[in-house]
Amino acid sequence: MLALDPLLEGGLLWTPLLIVLLKVVVVFVIGLVATMLMVWFERKVIAGMQNRIGPNKAGPFGLLQTLADGIKLFFKEDLIPRRSDRFVFALAPFLALVPAFLAFSIIPLGGDFRDGNDGIVTWFGVETRVQLADPHIGVLFALAISSIAVYGIMLAGWSSGSKYPLLGSVRASAQMVSYEAALGLSLASVILVSGTLSTSGIVGTQTTLTNWNVAATGIVPFIIFLIAATAELNRPPFDLVEAEQELVGGFNTEYSSIRFALFFLAEFMNTVTMSALVVTLFFGGPQPPSYGGVTLDIPLIPNGLEGTIWLLAKVVVFLYIYVWFRASLPRLRYDQLMDFGWKVLIPASLGWFILLAAQRLARNEDWNIFATTAIAVAVLGVCYVLMQAAFAVSNKTREREGAQF
């Protein structure tokens, strides 16, 4: 029973071990460099949208600005507030950073998924995938990691021993736990359609444009996933966790120097990871766009490498969308945030999931698919009316009892 350690099966093989080590290093470096470029990209794009120039002094186009800021942060004084809980205060930045890097490890970063290939490439005579890990639980790993990520922010706020960070972290925990449900439910639609949990398997099923999960699941789970992911990331318009105008700085008010930099790094790393996850789940990951037998192929580049280029292109689109959100949307009020999460996103994703499940069952059992869909829609309609009635009653009761919120 060496299932725990596939590397040791049949003696110690050095090549797979070295490949894994190489992958770890590459993923780590990609993570750091992507974060650096993302910070630059965000500042530059926002500057463009606000008719400014943005960073333009350090390096060509200001590309090295983030590096300069990072080095500056390293040399700043590291403060630990007297009323803080020292151990948890020191631990929190790492609890934020580590999940950010871990989640990146399950993203297929390339490989050839075309013509029935399942993305396996041969490096130095060893068959492997262009992703650090392909765990059995696949995307559930991402979900587990994103549910761990809340600890960093929460404990940072609590351990600072100060009011504003505490408020920020209380908001963070409520927000992230609420939106995680919507995130998981829209993810369930993808898993239902793909029939597998593994990220490479999910990419493998998205062969043509109509098979891309954004079309195959109907567009609703994608929209819900994107919104819930933005809330999970605490990015605008869901950045109540670090609302500068209300909370001084939010959960990271008391942090300085490199500890602050770690939070910053984690936040941008998470944005990159989440974009890559959206692309993997809904937009075919490294698959090139292909429709009706015509595949958009980049000439002269091997298919495996081409996957990486497609992935990168798609991820950049989503990073741009996140920056766009930040530049154009005002922050939600706290009650709006909670209402939106619990009363709109979660019921919508659950209803859509049930609809997809009904269709799937109809196809498996050879029922009339239109009749099944119609019945499912009717049942969901009744549920919707009941839910609205419940909201109406609760609002009336609130008003009668004189509730303030």
Partner 1 sequence: MELIVFVLASAMMLIGAFGVITRRNPVHAALSLVLTLFGVAVHFVALEAYFLAAVQIIVYAGAIVVLFLFVIMLLGVDKAEDLHTEPLVAQRWLAGVAGLGLLGLLVIAVSRGVEMLTTRAEGLATSTEGASGDANIQQLARSVFGDYVVAFELTSILLVVAVVGTVMLARRRVPGES
The identity of residue 181, as a single letter, is A
* Alpha-carbon span 322 to 301, nearest angstrom: 30
CB of 332 closer than 8 Å to CB of 240: yes
Pick from 2, 53, 294, 300 the residue near partner 1 by CB under 8 A.
Answer: 2
Shortest Cβ 155–partner 1 spacing (Å): 8
For partner 1, the closer of residues 195 and 302 by Cβ is 195
Residue 387 as a binder of partner 1 (CB under 8 A): the answer is: no
Residue 107 as a binder of partner 1 (CB under 8 A): the answer is: no
Shortest Cβ 148–partner 1 spacing (Å): 6
Residue with tokens 């530049």: 327
Shortest Cβ 14–partner 1 spacing (Å): 18
* DSSP structural state of residue 382: H
By CB under 8 A, the residues from 28 to 87 that bind partner 1 are 85
For partner 1, the closer of residues 64 and 357 by Cβ is 357
By CB under 8 A, the residues from 270 to 329 that bind partner 1 are none
SS3 295: strand
Nearest to 107, CA basis, from 186, 23, 218 = 23
Residue 166 as a binder of partner 1 (CB under 8 A): the answer is: yes
For partner 1, the closer of residues 177 and 378 by Cβ is 177
* Alpha-carbon span 94 to 394, nearest angstrom: 42
Pick from 27, 109, 150, 188 the residue near partner 1 by CB under 8 A.
Answer: 150
Shortest Cβ 146–partner 1 spacing (Å): 8
Stretches 74-82, 141-149, 332-340, 352-360: which one binds partner 1 (CB under 8 A)?
Answer: 141-149
For partner 1, the closer of residues 138 and 236 by Cβ is 138
Residue 342 as a binder of partner 1 (CB under 8 A): the answer is: no
For partner 1, the closer of residues 65 and 131 by Cβ is 131
* Alpha-carbon span 206 to 285, nearest angstrom: 9
CB of 39 closer than 8 Å to CB of 64: no
Shortest Cβ 227–partner 1 spacing (Å): 20
Stretches 53-61, 64-72, 154-162, 275-283: which one binds partner 1 (CB under 8 A)?
Answer: 154-162
Pick from 144, 192, 258, 305 the residue near partner 1 by CB under 8 A.
Answer: 144
Pick from 49, 148, 357, 380 the residue near partner 1 by CB under 8 A.
Answer: 148
Residue 228 as a binder of partner 1 (CB under 8 A): the answer is: no
Query: What is the CA angle 181-184-187, rounded to 5?
Result: 150
Pick from 31, 108, 138, 307 the residue near partner 1 by CB under 8 A.
Answer: 138
Shortest Cβ 175–partner 1 spacing (Å): 11
Shortest Cβ 402–partner 1 spacing (Å): 5
For partner 1, the closer of residues 198 and 234 by Cβ is 198
Residue 305, phi then psi, degrees to nearest 5: -75, -35
Pick from 47, 143, 220, 258 the residue near partner 1 by CB under 8 A.
Answer: 143
Shortest Cβ 154–partner 1 spacing (Å): 6
SS3 285: coil
CB of 50 closer than 8 Å to CB of 117: no
* Alpha-carbon span 186 to 195, nearest angstrom: 14
Question: How many angstroms separate the first and last alpha carbons of the chain?
Answer: 58
Which pair of tokens denotes residue 313? 């292109």
* Alpha-carbon span 35 to 285, nearest angstrom: 19
* Alpha-carbon span 270 to 149, nearest angstrom: 9
Residue with tokens 């297929």: 108
Shortest Cβ 37–partner 1 spacing (Å): 30
Residue with tokens 């590096």: 67
Q: Return the H-helix or E-strand segment holding 401.
A: helix 369-401
The residues near 241 (Cβ < 8 Å, ≥ 6 apart) are 153, 168, 169, 171, 172, 175, 234, 250, 251
The identity of residue 56, as a single letter, is N
User: Which residues of the shown chain bind partner 1 in the complex (CB under 8 A)?
Assistant: 1-5, 8, 85, 88, 135-138, 140-141, 143-144, 147-148, 150-151, 154-155, 157-158, 166, 169-170, 173-174, 176-177, 180, 184, 195-198, 400-402
